[in-house]
Amino acid sequence: MPEGRRRALVTGGAGFIGSHLCDRLVSEGYAVVCMDNLRTGSLRNIAHLRSEPRFEYVDHDVTSYIRVPGRLDEVYHFASPASPKDFERIPIPILKVGALGTHNALGLSLAKGARFMLASTSEVYGDPLVHPQPEDYWGNVNPIGVRGVYDEAKRYAEAITMAYHRHHGLDTRIVRIFNTYGPRMRPDDGRMIPNFISQALSGRPLTVYGDGSQTRSVQYIDDLVEGIFRLMRSEERRPVNIGNPVEYTVREVAELVLRLSGSRAGISFRPLPKDDPKQRCPDITRAREVLGWEPRVPAEEGLRRTLEWFSGHVHRAGEKTG
């Protein structure tokens, strides 16, 4: 490896966010080690990188000891199932990757002298009683609810990250990621936007839970990756919200997807799931002040790009196998 080239490990690198982060790092001249066990990631997400000499894929479950030969300058710990469907389907692996996986990734960073970033989540705020949510809000989480396996895994991961920083002097970063969408999302993800897009493209009514008045703030994947990139290069060791503070009701997002897709299937209303947050919106003051970051891609533009990708990849694949 050339002397000046930085080398980074991305755990969960074949996932939705991880694969886009790998793209960005390779484009910035990094040598990238992408680690994934493909439980929820896919080799399709990184297929375009496999011929890149500066890119290496390693099949490994981070809940087991992580071994990466050679120098590492940065570790991005992005491994974790994150779909609401996963919370009931694989709750124990979610807890293990948040606890054991984070411990292993931190230990590797310490051994290598690498800067560490934890991918945390707006889920640490639970069903918030403060709106919008600043980083110093401690949250309102049900630890024994179905969503608790993900919420508490990430809260623990933040705690152990800060413990490594304070006790071992490890150079750490924590990004709290709010609702993000874009190409490479799993169509069966269970989250709002892939659900709406998959239903619209197949001519089915869009499923809205409750009356659709609950709000969400959604950001396009390119904006998130820019925020991650800036945070890793900053000296900010406190958690930083990266999300879009523009709120939409769930019904507004459904209607926008219907309009952009040309679907006339309409909306189907269902009962609201337990512990589903009524509002989720980031206070991004810290990101603006410390990183000079704010989202750039408008919802309509981001949804159009995402619809085009789903239409060209997922929907076409379904026609071939259906």
> Residue 136: CB partners within 8 Å, gap ≥ 6?
none
Q: How far does the chain reach from its first CA to its final CA, in angstroms? A: 46
Give dist(CA 175, CA 285) in Å, integer.
Answer: 14
Which residue among the candidates 30, 76, 125, 150 is catalytic per the annotation? 150
Whether 248 is a known active-site residue: answer: no
The catalytic residues are 150
